[in-house]
Amino acid sequence: MNLKDQLTNDMKEAMKAKQTERLGTIRQLRSAIKNKEIEIGKELDDEEVIGVIGTQVKQRREAAQMYRDNDRLELAAKEEAELEVLQGYLPTQLSEAELREIVSAIIAETGAASIKDLGKVMPQVMARTKGVADGKLVNQLVREQLSG
């Protein structure tokens, strides 16, 4: 069963179980997937669906942080609940230690020596960690290792 079919099944289950927050989140995700398909003119495969989910996760994370910064805790909690549902559809995320190893290996492969080589390292790290690591954390680790 592909990811889109799983989303449809999970949506039906959420309806039956009257899980309104979960249902709303899955509906929003399915809508975002459909919009992306219309935009590119073809049906998305699982890898592309994971990319859409990753975008949705990033949006929820940023919104939750913004709400927290502005003392809107009830809205932050809603975003975080949606974030939890979305993360259930992503592959298991890499730990920080695993990410550090990947970053170190790519820095060694590319011969990067300073922060000026960020442009060489980042695309390769992101390609290897697509869907299994937060881009902001990857960027932070790469900068840390290149400047250290």
Across the chain, which has 148 residues, the per-10-residue mean pLDDT values are 92 96 96 96 92 92 96 96 93 89 91 87 88 85 86
Rounded Cα distance between 98 and 77, Å, is 29
Distance in angstroms (rounded) separating the CA atoms of residues 146 and 29: 36
Domains of the chain and CATH, by start? 3-87 (1.10.1510.10), 96-147 (1.10.10.410)
- How far apart CA 100 and CA 120 sit, in angstroms, is 16
Supply 67's token pair: 């709400």
- Give the residue ranges of DSSP H helices in the chain: 3-16, 20-40, 46-69, 73-87, 96-110, 118-128, 135-147
* Token pair of 41 as six digits: 């003119």
Whether the pTM exceeds 0.85: the reply is no
- pLDDT on residue 29: 96
Instruction: Give pLDDT, residue 85.
Output: 95
Specify the amino acid at residue 119: G
